[in-house]
Amino acid sequence: MKRGGGRTAALALALGLGVASTALFGCGDDKKPDTQPTEAGAASTSAPAQTSGAPKAEAPAGKIPDQVADLFAAVPENATLVARFPALSDLGVPKETLDTALPLLLKELASSSQVPEALLKSVLEGYDGIAAFTIGDDLDAKPPPLAVVARFKDEKVAESLISELKLEKVRDGRYKHPGTQNTPVHVEWLAKPRVAVISPSEPALDAALDALAGKAPSFASGPNASGAGAYFVYGDLHRLIKNPELFAIGSMASMSFGSVNDASMTYRMFGDKVPRLSTVLAPAPHDALAKLPGKPAMALDLSLARPAGKKLADLFAEIGRASGADFTPQAESALKSIGLSLSDFDRALGPSATLAMYMPEGPIDPTKLDTTSTVFFYVPFSDDAVPKKLFDTAKAAAGKEKGIQFGANRVTADISPVQSVLVELVPGGVVGAFGGKKLLDPLVATFKSGKGTLGETPGFATFKATMVPSQLAVFVDYDQMLAAVPKDLPFQFPLKGVTGSDLLLNPTEKGIDASLKGGGAVPMLGTMGALAIYGVRRYLQSAKTSEAKNTIGAIARGAVGAYERESLGAGGAPSHQLCKSAQRVPATIPSGKKYQPSSAPGTDFESGDATSGWKCLKFTIVNPIYYSYEYRAGGPYKCPARGGTDPGPDGFEISAEGDLDGDGVTSLLCQIGKVDPTTQVIKLGTQLFIADEFE
């Protein structure tokens, strides 16, 4: 992503945190044109925004209300994407988490936006809700068709921000910021209702004003806002995905979170090729969850029950609707070959299939969960003869295939040195597990014993009380799931105990109309808010590290280009030589701020000559930079001391060293290259070496 476009992306990340007003302007330098690091002569800058001679925007026609209780009133009814977030105090994030995370976020935002931390803090604490939306079908349009509507508790906070950002006044209430890449940002400040509408797209901004003034229908008056909680996200899938056979008119997705036990998701997928699952799958009571062994981190129970008069053949036909092929005949033929019929299988199959994930015992390494966690499954049958015939057929087909071990009623197979698969016939069904070897046999043994089950745990009683018959039940044990969360989060999650959700398929002949409802909304919201703060901080840091990665790439191209230029060697023979080392720019690593390179001859990136330094590399950069850059040829090299590769005496190293958070600990990124002694061609390292990327 280009840095200029990152401002809009940063806005999208920042919406839920109440920093939309600053993020629109904040991922670059105030008063400075935005440029990419480039080779000499190739730098490009944005043209300055017009400050005179441009047509003046007209004041919004119609009556803007003095109070805006519902921010959806400023969102057009036909918006493609819609989001709403509450005030910071209502995010559901515990105070201790905010006290830890917000100062880190504020520091990053202040560094990126050049807006004082104190003012940013007042904005975060002073906004009273945010809504955001896009219009049209092309989300990649220029300018982005995105608008943000922010309501403030105190108009002085918004007016102070407008003053600090030095916005150009177009008329009373309308302001403009130069933005980046010839994309200005427009702001409409409505003082009485204390609402700001911010957008790089004037049509999107005007659509918000028309909705507020009652000139056009608003999202608040439409059906999709019904029951929306404090947190709400909506997408019109028909407009976003151009496939009417799968996403016809009416296709949409929304998520809503409110108070405890008030979390829901709606998903509608309409079209001729969408299976009508509600007509062939009935709600089930999910009793099998109680039989699971031990304490799973997460479990799912999927209904296989059919409504009266419906059979497996009907389910297969609906599933085949998407491809246009009904595989019922193939299933009938396969079962017939082993002495069964589809009707036999249909009668014997139980009401649901259950799947559960178990974490390894002891300390957990989140990066190795794919090899250490174990998945357990259970499919009930009312007639044991049916799964027995399937098992015997598989056993005969496998023969003595290496790596597969069959017993009388069980089969095991190794996937890797630490992973296996186990399937076993038990009275009343089939059980199995796959994943980490240590848990396979204990899980199956516990299930067979009927003791130490999930149903015996105190948390399951709480979960059971909220369950309703549905097509899918989801059980989550947060205490175990959090063991897999990255350890470098600067806060604690507000999640404890168990929670669950039920997915219901609402009756429809159009396709799929699914509703997911469940408890635990408040702790879920707290986690989402905490992760959002952490995610925005990481995004801002990543935007800075992208400067280093782009610049290193440009310097590497300069090094290769310089080597490929021929010069005359001894006796007049053509010769190729690496540029000699270049001085570090700047000499002192920037500490939490940017350095402005000098353009004076002989300084910074203007140093060197035809055979050495930045002049030889034909590289320069005029933008302020977060990192200190260096090119070393032949050694001694910087990166090997921190784990990087030494390219040797015939190589070179390009490094970027920074101190993004100003704590004295530096990040280091390196690219190496070396001259192949046989081909005399430069070979670049296949990937960057990165140490402490976000320091």
Mean pLDDT of the chain: 80
Taking 70 as the threshold, does the pLDDT of residue 453 lie above it? yes
Task: Among 73-87, 154-168, 193-207, name the one with the lowest average pLDDT.
Answer: 154-168
Question: Two tokens at 436?
Answer: 């980490």
Average pLDDT in the 38-49 region? 35
* Nearest of 222, 219, 194 to residue 208 by alpha carbon: 219
Q: What is the end-to-end Cα distance of the chain in Å, rounded?
A: 21
pLDDT tens, residue by residue, 586-629:
999 998 888 999 999 999 999 999 899 999 999 999 889 999 99
Average pLDDT in the 232-239 region? 91
Taking 70 as the threshold, does the pLDDT of residue 657 lie above it? yes
CA distance 118 to 657: 29
CA distance 40 to 47: 19
Question: Two tokens at 56?
Answer: 């003046």
Question: Two tokens at 419?
Answer: 């992973």
CA distance 30 to 12: 20
pLDDT tens, residue by residue, 159-169:
888 887 788 88
Asked if the bond preceding 33 is cis, omega within 30° of 0, the reply is no
Q: Give the Å distances, CA to CA, from 659 to 95, 108, 370, 533, 593.
A: 29, 12, 34, 21, 8
Better-scored residue on pLDDT, 365 or 507: 507
CA distance 84 to 442: 46
pLDDT band at 394 (very low <50, low <70, confident <90, very high): confident
Q: Give the Å distances, CA to CA, from 341 to 285, 387, 543, 636.
A: 27, 13, 60, 75
Res 342: pLDDT: 92
List of residues 6+ apart from 368 with CB closer than 8 A: none
CA distance 657 to 666: 6
- This prediction has a pTM of 0.62
CA distance 502 to 516: 6
